[in-house]
Amino acid sequence: MLIIGERINGMFKDIANAIRTGDPTAVQMWAKKQEKNGAGWLDINTGPASDDPVKHMKWLVEVTQEVSDVPLALDSTNYDAIEAGLEICKIPPLINSVPAEWPKMERVFEMAQKYNAGVIGLAMNEKGIPKDAESRVALAMELCACADGYGISMEDLYIDPLLLPVNVGQDHGPEVLETLRQIKTLSDPAPKTTIGLSNISQGTKKRELINRICAVMLIAAGLDTAVGDACDDELMEAIATARLIMNLDIYCDSFVQVYKNRW
């Protein structure tokens, strides 16, 4: 599993401040730090404070690309902002994200095809997040069918079964694990999977512990990527270890370093 580094997000004060003042220092510092720690993508989110997501998405993409070659994940519900980012990405990014709702899927998959981008598809629709695995898988299937209709390869579709905080949506955990397993049976090649990892620990104590254990369990169920904290060393160590146990990487004594250096 590779981490989509979550830190360049206007929800954090230093990034919101960077957006406000136009000073890229904090953005570029987090880009380099996440890259150095093994992030596979860098999530780019203008956050709730932005009054002009199109302009700010472009700016964040520009200043991030100045210091890092890691592909980006353009994170917004504003598709004009995503398109503005897609136009200037040097490496095909991920679009984060689209729910299984028709007008939105059409807009996003068309963009993805045009810019050769990957897409994170959420297993939810207008009715919200389903509770059981079967309903999540049904929505995943809709995402697959729609993506296929636009000629998107299943390997460029990242389905997110949606993790809820363990303190409020505890019964969702086993359903998410089951959904991940079933998604891999939907097509051949199978769609990829992703998740908003840090959601599991929203409002809990010992957030890092919960995130790490959750990541390991999800990897065992077949998770390919997760939006998470690439700067949590112990999380990255846990992922590197789980990858070994799943026989995804060839063991060597420096396995943590190899994972972080993206050797």
Partner 1 sequence: MAFTPLKEKYRNKVAQITLGATADQGGTRTSTVTIGGEEALPFLHFEGTIANKPVVALEVWDIAPTEWNSCFDQYYGDVYNDTAAWAKKCVEEYGAEVICLRFKGADPDLGDKSPEDCVATLKAVLGAVGVPLIVLGCGKYEKDNALFPAIAEAGEGENLLLGVGEQENYKTLTAAALGYKHAIIAQSPIDINIAKQLNILIGEMNFDTSRIVMDPTIASLGYGIEYGYSIMQRARFGALTGDKAMANPMIGNVGFEAWRAKEANASQEDFPGWGDQETRGIMWEATTATALISAGLGIAVLRHPKTVALVKKSIDALMVPSAY
Helix (H, G, I), strand (E, B) or coil at 118: strand
Of 223, 216, 209, nearest in space to 162 by CA: 223
**Shortest reach from residue 29's CB to partner 1, in Å:** 26
Among 88, 145, 245, 252, binds partner 1 (CB under 8 A): 252
Stretch that binds partner 1, among 62-70, 89-97, 101-109, 254-262 (CB under 8 A): 254-262
Is 263 near partner 1 (CB under 8 A)? yes
Is the Cβ–Cβ distance between 156 and 112 less than 8 Å? yes
Is 258 near partner 1 (CB under 8 A)? yes
Task: Strand 192-193: give its sheet, edge to edge.
Answer: 192-193, 157-160, 118-122, 94-99, 72-75, 41-44, 2-5, 225-228
The span from the CA of 40 to the CA of 166, in Å, is 26
Is 251 near partner 1 (CB under 8 A)? yes
Is 25 near partner 1 (CB under 8 A)? no
What's the length of the chain?
263
Is 257 near partner 1 (CB under 8 A)? yes
Among 51, 151, 203, 250, binds partner 1 (CB under 8 A): 250
In this complex, which beta carbon is closest to partner 1, that of residue 102 or of residue 251?
A: 251
**Shortest reach from residue 253's CB to partner 1, in Å:** 5
The span from the CA of 139 to the CA of 92, in Å, is 25
Stretch that binds partner 1, among 4-12, 67-75, 208-216, 245-253 (CB under 8 A): 245-253
In this complex, which beta carbon is closest to partner 1, that of residue 37 or of residue 45?
A: 37
**Shortest reach from residue 155's CB to partner 1, in Å:** 8
The span from the CA of 218 to the CA of 49, in Å, is 32
In the chain, the amino acid numbered 123 is: A
Is 253 near partner 1 (CB under 8 A)? yes
**Shortest reach from residue 77's CB to partner 1, in Å:** 31
Contacts of 254 (CB under 8 A, 6+ apart): none
Is 77 near partner 1 (CB under 8 A)? no
In the chain, the amino acid numbered 224 is: D
Of 163, 263, 253, 177, nearest in space to 217 by CA: 177
The span from the CA of 128 to the CA of 147, in Å, is 21
In this complex, which beta carbon is closest to partner 1, that of residue 221 or of residue 258?
A: 258
Is 185 near partner 1 (CB under 8 A)? no
Among 148, 208, 237, 249, binds partner 1 (CB under 8 A): 249
Is 103 near partner 1 (CB under 8 A)? no
Contacts of 21 (CB under 8 A, 6+ apart): none
In this complex, which beta carbon is closest to partner 1, that of residue 112 or of residue 139?
A: 112
Is the Cβ–Cβ distance between 98 and 120 less than 8 Å? yes
Tell me which residues touch partner 1 (CB under 8 A). Answer: 249-254, 257-258, 263
